[in-house]
Amino acid sequence: RHQISSLLIGVAAHWIGSLIYILGLSPIPGLNIVPITFTITGLFIIWGLFRYQLFDLVPFARTNLIDIMSEAVLVIDEQMRIVDINLAAQKLFELPHTCIGEDIEFAMAAWPGLTELCQQTTDIHKEILLNQEAPLCVDVRISHFNLPTGQAVGKLIVISNITKRYKAVLTLFEVNEELQKRYDEIAALQAQLKEQAISDALTGLLNRHHLRDTLPKEISRAKRGAYPLTLIMLDIDGFKQVNDIYGHDVGDSMLL
């Protein structure tokens, strides 16, 4: 603001002096005050050059810092108009340089999630998914500009494209879900195999493999507890003849 003011005041001094001379309003008749105004203009420009680095720091910073940033940078005023935009933001949101001065809601109508954040009155740091179909996920930082008096004058929006990280996390989540599904299937299969190993497929009763594993433990437990252990064995007389004469289907029905 100070740089622009010094330049405008210097130019205005020359214009005013020239107008006074042309209209014949010079305080000294016949005196051409235009050369004097050139001196005044020069003094204001010199003041701007040395006091506010006119034509020096701002162009250098704008070209060599803002435009080479990989992050998208936008500056908007309190009327939600785009004041400045760097090349990364133009490329990311497919905006022309002529969008400067436009309302951000109009210029970025395709990104309502972002424009909604820009309307907030507090500083924001948030990750948002702008597009689901062709994934576009961004990290948004919004900072407010305030005058020394506390009056808000604008916002700085810095946006980082984190779509690659989002896709990687999404892929990892899908892989974890698939692994969990496989793990559950394996656990169920192991439980089924264990059940089949210790039980009879026909009757569902525990078989001799289970007895061989369980009986020694029960005997040891009975000895430690000093209580008796009873084992009951049942048998069907002539069961082999039933299978041989009537077939295994009848024998199975008899067991059931």
- pLDDT digit string (tens) for 148-188? 787 888 899 999 999 898 899 889 999 999 999 999 999 99
Cα 128 to Cα 143: distance, rounded to the nearest angstrom: 17
Cα 124 to Cα 219: distance, rounded to the nearest angstrom: 70
Q: What is the pLDDT of residue 47?
A: 74
The residues, any chain, with a CB within 8 Å of residue 30's CB and separated by 6 or more, are none
What is the distance of C-alpha 249 from the center of its chain? 65
Q: What is the pLDDT of residue 235?
A: 79
Mean pLDDT of 25-53: 73
CB of 137 closer than 8 Å to CB of 166: yes
Which range of 9-18, 26-35, 172-181, 213-222 scores highest in mean pLDDT? It is 172-181
Q: What is the pLDDT of residue 51?
A: 67
Burial class (CB within 10 angstroms; exposed 0-12, middle 13-18, buried 19+) of 134: exposed
pLDDT > 90: what percent of the chain? Answer: 15
Q: Is the pLDDT of residue 115 over 80?
A: yes
- pLDDT digit string (tens) for 180-201? 999 999 999 988 888 777 777 7
Q: Is the pLDDT of residue 214 over 90?
A: no
Mean pLDDT of the chain: 82
Q: Is the pLDDT of residue 205 over 80?
A: no
The span from the first CA to the last CA of the chain, in angstroms, equals 98
Q: Is the pLDDT of residue 212 over 80?
A: yes
CA distances from 91 to 22, 55, 65, 122, 139 (A): 51, 27, 17, 27, 16
Range from 20-24, 84-88, 97-101, 128-132 carrying the lowest mean pLDDT: 20-24
pLDDT band at 252 (very low <50, low <70, confident <90, very high): confident
Cα 204 to Cα 256: distance, rounded to the nearest angstrom: 10
Adjacency order of strands within the sheet including 124-131: 82-85, 72-77, 152-161, 136-146, 124-131
CB of 75 closer than 8 Å to CB of 83: yes
Task: Please name which of 115, 110, 162, 166 lies closest in space to residue 142, comparing C-alpha atoms.
Answer: 115
Cα 91 to Cα 98: distance, rounded to the nearest angstrom: 13
Q: What is the pLDDT of residue 63?
A: 63
Cα 194 to Cα 199: distance, rounded to the nearest angstrom: 9
Q: Is the pLDDT of residue 221 over 80?
A: yes
* Integer Rg of the chain from CA: 44
